[in-house]
Every structure is written in structure tokens, then in C-alpha cells.
Amino acid sequence: MKIKSVEAFQLPMGSGEAGSPRCAFVRIETEDGQFGLGEASPMQGGVASLGIIARDMAPYLVGKDVLDHAILLDTLFHRCVKLGPEGATTAALAALDIALWDLKGKLLSQPVHKLLGGAWTTSLPCYTSIGNNSGRTVDEVLRVVERRVAKEKPAAVKIRWDGDRTRQDVDLAGDIAKAKAVRKLLGDDFVIGFDANNGYSVGGAIRVGRALEELGYMWFEEPVQHYNVRAMGEVAQRLDITVSAGEQTYTLQGLRELIDAGVRMVQPDIVKMGGITGMMKCAAVAHAHGVELVPHQTQPTVGHLANIHVLSTIMHLAKPVELADNWERGSPVFVNPSEPNNGRFELPTAPGLGVQFDAVELEKRKIVIKF
């Protein structure tokens, strides 16, 4: 089955009005009209990745056999290796990989998780991921946590800071006060994670981490700058709380370096690193090293479906699936149930990823990237 076209495009999400977030997608169509959808990282609207797809990758793919999937993407990785190979390039490859898996599932009339070897579970619990807490007061943090927990009924909560990454250790005492207040609100037995979004020095991270240990937090995410792997490892080895990192890691080699440094919970993102194929490789690496794989994933549509297909196949799934802010922005273009059902995501059984969308609305909003 030959590839006829590869289209890279943005979609304004939610209301679609000016200022709405834009996400990055790819559509691969075969000569008989079958198609698959993929998604790239939405950072800066995904424009860099979409440009690489349109200019450097799509011309190579046209006319190729869909089922030569691995050869095609490995070839493109090495053709574009001098562009990084991290970041925009690996996000472009992730989008293509997801689209090819979606297409392959449709061609073979099987859901993706079946092609990956089968699902251990078809109902995955979620955790509520709550951002922008660096700029909130303690009372404001508590109000948003209470509202989200009541609405989403999650198995766990993660509070994220999303602060200014050019500054470190801005308000250690205030951060600890917010962590204490959230623990008191949710009770001693509720599972809670803390995402510093790279906001601390090693010393600051140790101080906050010790407080989180006393409060019974389950994990401490990206306490220091992601690119300082040695510092991340030092924090991980000096604390008892599980330190996690990896959402800004783009290759298997980078993942291995985090694990070698001492990180024991890795969080690569399916729309940033290798797509479905990449995430299955990450699962194998994590399993071989005895560390937890808990993917970062904030996209409510194609990326989300790709992520839960992969996670359903992992035998020792350690943590719930991420449910980020503004999850409802997938509507009205995408018509899959965007909200979890009683705190759980149900795995689609339709061929491919199981993506459902309003074709008219998609065409109306679509912004095609051309070179």
C-alpha cells in the first residue's frame, strides 16, 4: 500500500478564536483513500516540527510502502540527524509514527493495542495534573484542586508550578506551604505528585524534597533544569522520594543517561519522542533497568489516544494516566469522549487509534503548512 500524500497542519483548539492554543497534526493518506492521523509536540504551536515534515520528510514518504514503517522513519531520522536530532525533529517523527500506526490499524482492521501485543487493561485510571500554581496563593491553589478533584474523580493529583525557568528557588517556603495545604485538603492517603518544572537549584530541590517526603508525596518531578542530567541524578540519589524526569528527553540514549544518573521514574512524551514506536522502546528500556515508565502527556486528542494504547500494553503499569489542564479543548473538532468516566479512560476498540472527529469543523479550522 503506497503513500499518496502527507499533510502537515495546525488546528486552533477549543473555541478556535484568536488566542486559542494551536496544536500540530499530520495526515498520511494512501492511494486507496485510507488515512492515519498523528500529532506532534504543541510547543510554539508545533510550527518547527510541521515545517520539517512538510519540507524535509513528506517528499521522501510519498510513493513508499506504508508497511515499511520502521525503515522509513529510521531513514528520515538519519537524513535529518544534523537538525538536532532532538526537539522539533523527534516531534516530527513522532507525529509520522503515530499516523502510520493509526493507518496500519485501519488497513489490518485492528486497534493499535492489538498490533502491539494486546492490552492488560482496557480501563486506565487518570491523575489530575494542575498547572500554574507558582502564581497562585495558597487559597487559590486549594480552590482549583478541590474543583478539579470533584469534577474528574482522579486516582491521584499532581500540582505543577510552571514558573519562570530563568529564575531558581524563588519562594521555597511558599512552595512548601502550598504542598502542605494540598496534603491537608486531600487527606493522608491520597496520592499526590509535585512538579517543580525545573524551578530549583540542587540545594533548593533537596530542601523542598525533604518537606515532600515528610508530607508523604509520591513523586517529585523535574526539580532542576532538565538539561543538567548530573544535577537531576544527584537530587534523585540524595532523596528518598521518587524523583522523575524525561518529558524533555528525546532519544533512547538520553533516557538511558537519566537512568544511569539515578532517576527512577522516567516520563518521555509520545508526541515528542518517537511516537508509539519510541514509547514501546522506552518501555523496554525502563523494564530492563527496573524503573517506572510514567509518560508525560498533555494533549487531549490524538496524542492521548496513542498514549493509552501504549500504556494498556504495559504489564507493570505503575501510575495513572495524565489528565492535564483544559482537557475539554479537544471539542468541537474531536468527538471522542474528552473527559474520563468516573476517573478512568476507556481504551478504544475501533481499528487504528479510534480517533473520531468532525470533518467539516476540521477542514474549516485547518492551517496547512507548506514550503
Q: pLDDT tens, 235-262?
A: 999 999 999 999 999 999 999 999 999 9
Whether the per-residue pLDDT at 273 is higher than 80: the answer is: yes
Strand partners, 47: none
pLDDT value of position 339: 77
Between the alpha carbon of residue 292 and those of residues 32, 115, 245, 295, the distances in Å are: 41, 23, 11, 9
Mean predicted confidence (pLDDT) in 26-33? 97
Backbone angles phi, psi at 192, to 5 degrees: -135, 140
Please write the tens of the pLDDT for every residue from 143-190.
999 999 999 999 999 999 999 989 999 999 999 999 999 999 999 999
- Beta-sheet pairing, 123-130 with 35-40: unpaired
3-class secondary-structure state, position 322: strand
Reduced to 3 states, what is the DSSP secondary structure of residue 97?
A: helix
Q: Is the pLDDT of residue 62 over 80?
A: yes
Instruction: Give the N- to C-terminal CA distance of the chain in Å, as an integer.
Output: 26
**For the segment 210-229, what is each residue's pLDDT rounded down to a tens digit?**
999 999 999 999 999 999 99
Distance of CA 216 to CAs 184, 189, 296, 321, Å?
11, 8, 22, 20
CA neighbor of 200 nearest in space, from 243, 158, 242, 157 = 243
Instruction: Note whether 192 and 217 are within 8 A (CB).
Output: yes
> Which pLDDT does position 243 carry in this prediction?
98
| pLDDT grade for 52, boundaries at 50, 70 and 90 | very high
Average pLDDT value over all residues in the chain: 96
| Residue 129 three-state SS | strand
Mean pLDDT calculated for residue range 253-278? 97
- Positive or negative, the CA dihedral 222, 227, 231, 232 is positive
Phi/psi at 245 (5° precision): -165, 165
Rounded CA gap, 299 and 313, in Å? Answer: 20
Alpha-carbon distance of 89 to 57, in angstroms, equals 10
Q: How confident is the model at residue 141 (pLDDT cuts 50, 70, 90)?
A: very high
The confidence score (pLDDT) of residue 4 equals 98
Count CB atoms within 10 A of the CB of residue 64.
Answer: 16
Q: Which pLDDT score, from 0 to 100, does residue 314 have?
A: 96
